[in-house]
Chain A
Amino acid sequence: MRLFGHRVPLTALIGLVIIAVNLITAIGAPWIAPFDQANVVGDAWGDPTSQNLLGLDNLGRDLLSRLIYGARMSIGLAFVITCLSFALGIVTGFAAAVLRGWVDTLLSRIVDLLLSMPTLIFAFIVLSVLGTDLPVLILTIAILDSTKVFRLSRALAMNLAALEYVEVAQVRGEGLWWVIRKEILPNAAAPLIAEFGLRFSFAFLFIAALSFLGLGVQPPNADWGSMVRDYRDMINLDAMAPLYPAGAIAILTIGVNFVVDWMLSIHSHAHGDGA
Chain B
Amino acid sequence: MNARQAGEHVLQVDCLRVEVRTDRGPGPVLVDNVSFALRRGEVIGLIGESGAGKSTIGLATLGYTRRGCHISGGTLDFDGRDIRQMTAAERRALRGPGVAYIAQSAAASFNPAMTLFEQVCEIPVRHGMMSVQQARTEAVRLFRELELPNPERFGERYPHQVSGGQLQRAMAAMAMAAKPDILVFDEPTTALDVTTQVEVLAAFRKLIREHRTAAIYITHDLAVVAQIADHIMVLRHGKTVEYGTAGQILQSPREEYTRRLVAERVAGHTFRDDLASAETPILEVSNVVASYHSLLRVIDGVSLDVRRGDTVAVVGESGSGKSTLARVIIGLLPRQSGDIRFRGDSLPPRLAARSRDQLRRIQMIYQMPDVALNPNQTLLEIIGRPVQFYFGRPREQVRARVLELLRMMDLPEHFIGRKPGELSGGQKQRVGIARALAAEPDLIICDEVTSALDQLVGEEILRLLKRLQDELGLAYLFITHDLGTVKRIANKVVVMLKGKLVAGGETAKVFAPPYHPYTELLLSSVPEMRSDWLDEVLSRRAQTLQAMRDAQIQLVP
Contact = CB atoms under 8 A, between A and B. Distances in A.
A187 interface: yes
B372 interface: yes
A171 B372 contact: no
A165 B372 contact: yes
B373 A165 contact: yes
A165 B373 CA distance: 5
Given A164-B371, A187-B374, A172 B67 contact: no
B3 to A, nearest CB: 33
Main secondary structure, interface of B, reads: loop
Given A172-B389, A173-B356, A174-B389, A187 B67 contact: no
A266 to B, nearest CB: 13
B351 A183 contact: no
Interface in A168-194: 168, 170-174, 182-183, 186-187
Interface in B313-371: 330-332, 351, 354, 356, 359, 364, 366, 368, 371
**Majority SS at the chain A contact face:** helix
B451 interface: no
B359 A173 contact: yes
B149 interface: no
A272 B372 contact: no
Nearest to A166: B374
A7 interface: yes
B23 interface: yes
Nearest to A173: B359
A172 B359 contact: yes
A167 B373 CA distance: 10
A85 B527 CA distance: 58
A187 B372 contact: no
A62 B368 CA distance: 65
B130 to A, nearest CB: 33
Nearest to B55: A275
B401 to A, nearest CB: 16
Contacts of A238: none
B375 interface: yes
Interface in B60-105: 66-68
Contacts of B484: none
A171 B67 contact: no
A226 B184 CA distance: 67
A168 B351 CA distance: 12
Given A7-B23, A165-B371, A275-B67, A171 B364 contact: yes
Given A171-B364, A172-B386, A165 B68 contact: no
Contacts of B385: 172
B435 interface: yes
**Which among A168, A172, A273 has the highest number of chain B CB atoms within 10 Å?**
A168
A163 interface: yes
Interface residues of A, number: 18
Contacts of A165: 371-374
B371 A171 contact: no
B331 A171 contact: yes
Interface residues on B, range: 20 to 34
A167 B68 CA distance: 34
B445 to A, nearest CB: 10
A171 B366 contact: no
Contact of B330 (A7, A171, A182, A275): A171
A7 B439 CA distance: 43
Contact of A173 (B332, B366, B368, B389): B389
Interface in B429-477: 435, 439
Interface in A103-136: none
Contacts of B439: 172
B430 to A, nearest CB: 16
Nearest to A187: B376
A7 B23 CA distance: 10
A169 B206 CA distance: 49
Nearest to B330: A171
Contacts of B386: 172
A187 B332 CA distance: 23
Nearest to A183: B374
A275 B332 CA distance: 32
Contacts of A183: 374
Given A165-B372, A187-B375, A187-B376, A170 B67 contact: no
Nearest to B352: A173
A167 B376 contact: no
B368 A186 contact: no
Contacts of A182: 374, 377
B342 to A, nearest CB: 14
Contacts of B332: 167, 170-171
Nearest to A165: B374
B10 to A, nearest CB: 27
A186 B376 contact: yes
B368 A272 contact: no
Nearest to A185: B376
Nearest to A275: B66
Contacts of B435: 168
Contacts of A173: 354, 356, 359, 389
Nearest to B368: A164
B103 to A, nearest CB: 13
A106 to B, nearest CB: 19
Contacts of A186: 374, 376-377
A224 B120 CA distance: 60
Contact of B68 (A170, A187, A273): A273
B144 to A, nearest CB: 36
Interface in A1-34: 7
A275 B330 CA distance: 34
B389 A272 contact: no
A246 to B, nearest CB: 39
A65 to B, nearest CB: 46
A118 B97 CA distance: 55
A189 to B, nearest CB: 8
B235 to A, nearest CB: 17
A171 B373 contact: no
Nearest to A174: B389
A182 B386 CA distance: 14
A187 B420 CA distance: 13
Contacts of A275: 66-67
Contacts of A170: 332, 351
A186 B366 CA distance: 22
Given A273-B68, A275-B67, 12 more contacts: A7-B23, A163-B371, A165-B374, A167-B332, A168-B372, A171-B330, A171-B351, A172-B439, A173-B354, A174-B389, A182-B374, A187-B374
Interface of B: 23, 66-68, 330-332, 351, 354, 356, 359, 364, 366, 368, 371-377, 385-386, 389-390, 435, 439
Interface of A: 7, 163-165, 167-168, 170-174, 182-183, 186-187, 272-273, 275
16 contacts: A164-B368, A164-B372, A165-B371, A168-B364, A171-B331, A171-B351, A172-B385, A172-B439, A173-B354, A173-B359, A173-B389, A182-B377, A186-B374, A186-B376, A273-B68, A275-B66
Going nearest first, the 8 A-B pairs with the smallest beta carbon separation are A186-B376, A164-B372, A165-B374, A163-B371, A173-B359, A275-B66, A164-B366, A164-B371
